[in-house]
Amino acid sequence: MKPVVLARLLSAAALAYASMSCSGGGDTAVPRRDAYPRVQLYDTVYVNLADIPVTLAVNSGATARVEEKSPSTSWINIDYPRYGAVVRLTLQQLSGDSLLRAVDNRFQRASLDIGGNTTEVTELTSPAGVSATLMLTPSAAVTPIHFIATDSAGFILSGAAEFKHPGIEANAPAVAAIHADLLRAAKTLTPSSR
C-alpha cells in the first residue's frame, strides 16, 4: 500500500474513533462542564392558612405570612426559602361590578407580564364553586407562574410566583413544584363562609 493511502486510512479510522467516543451514546453518564445544583423539593404536605376569609392550602414546608392592608384586602406571601422564591398573593373581598373589574384587571396584568411567551393555561373549578386559572410560562425567568381565582360573588385571589435568582433551567424543578402546590390550592379553595 502506498504511504499516502495508508495515511488517509489511518486518519479516517482515527476520526471515526474520535467521533464515536464523543457521541455521548451509551449508558455512561458524562458530567457537564456547568451543572446546576439539585434543589431538595419540599414534601407534598399541606396545611390550611388561618385567619383569612378563604380556606387556602399551602405547602407545610413554606412559610406563609398574611398582612391585612384594609378590612377587605390582605397580602399573602408564601416563602419557599430553599427555592429562592415567594408566591405573592392578594386577597380582596369584592362583589358585583367591582369584582368583575378586578378579575379583568388581573388577567390584563398577567397577560402584560407574560408578553408573547408560550404559556400553559390550566382552568378548573373547585368543589366549592371557585374558578381558578393558573398560567405557567416556563420561559419567564422571574415570574413563571400566575394565579387568579374567584368565587364570582365575594372574593378574588390573585398573584404570581417570583424567583429571586432567575434561571430558567436551574429553577425548573422548583417551578414545577410551586405550580403543583398552587394547583392543589386551587382545587381545594373554599370561601370560609361556606
Is there a domain that residue 61 lies in? Answer: yes
Residue 133 forms part of a structural domain? yes
Residues 6+ apart with CB under 8 A from 80: 42, 59, 61, 62, 86, 87, 174, 178
Q: 56 has which bridge partners?
A: 49
Q: Is the residue at 33 inside a domain?
A: no
Say if 36 falls within a structural domain: no
Handedness of CA 47, 50, 53, 58 (dihedral sign): negative
Could you give the number of structural domains in the chain? 1
Residue 112 lies in a domain: yes
Interval 3-23: pLDDT, tens: 555 556 556 555 555 555 555
Distance in angstroms (rounded) separating the CA atoms of residues 56 and 33: 42
181 domain-assigned: yes
Domain that holds residue 67: 46-191
pLDDT band at 70 (very low <50, low <70, confident <90, very high): very high
Q: Which residues lie across from 124 on neighbouring strands?
A: 132
Residue 127 lies in a domain: yes
Q: Which three cell numbers stand for residue 95?
A: 362583589
pLDDT tens-digit readout, 149-170: 999 999 999 999 999 987 778 8
Q: Please check whether residue 164 lies inside any domain of the structure.
A: yes
At 193, is the pLDDT very low, low, confident or very high (cuts 50, 70, 90)? low
We report the CATH number of the domain holding residue 120 as 3.40.1000
Count CB-CB contacts under 10 A for residue 121. Answer: 11
